[in-house]
A = this chain, B = another copy of it.
Amino acid sequence: MTTSPSSNAPQAAEVIQLLLRSTHHIQQQYEARLSALSLPFPLSGPRLRLLLAVWKAEPIRMNELAGKLGVKARTITDLVDALERDGLLIRVPDPMDRRATLLRLSAEAVPHIENVKRIQKDISESLLERLAPEQRGQLFGLLSLLAGDCEVHFVC
């Protein structure tokens, strides 16, 4: 009496592989649609992730930002260099600690970010079109459970 893998408990490895595969596809869609926007600057996944993290926590130290994004400080330096060159971020000395540097969004960045947030919403809606509202709630619940308490530390 075999049952379909979607209604009965599948192997753990199958679930994880399906999860990785789905996300791979979603990430590709995401990046493709963001690139298609013809913004005045390139907007890759890591660049957007950094911008949104600053947007949510501004002003924020480079060091703290590295922690939130789960990358090394060295990686932040290069990304911020590029984003500052594009006029999206500003480095400000931290008055509390002269070793540290704070990051802020530039004035021009703000409307772009708001635009991107709207587009994120559209993209997300179309990616989820196959799921009914109730199923979206279920998926959200299961993913929250899966992520446990790691979710507080990272941004995406």
Contact = CB atoms under 8 A, between A and B. Distances in A.
Contact of A140 (B14, B26, B121): B14
A13 B136 contact: no
Contacts of A148: 130
Given A70-B28, A145-B131, A146-B128, A140 B21 contact: no
Interface residues on A, range: 35 or more
A97 B10 CA distance: 40
A42 interface: no
Contact of A156 (B7, B24, B145): B24
A156 B137 CA distance: 26
Give this chain's copy count: 2
Of residues A8, A27, A143, A150, which shows the largest number of chain B Cβ atoms within 10 Å of its Cβ?
A143
Interface string A105-146: 000000000000100110111011011011111111111111
A26 B22 CA distance: 13
Of residues A20, A135, A146, which shows the largest number of chain B Cβ atoms within 10 Å of its Cβ?
A146
A59 to B, nearest CB: 23
Contacts of A133: 9
Q: Which 10 A-B pairs have the closest CB atoms?
A: A6-B141, A9-B133, A12-B124, A23-B23, A21-B156, A16-B124, A13-B124, A12-B125, A22-B147, A139-B142
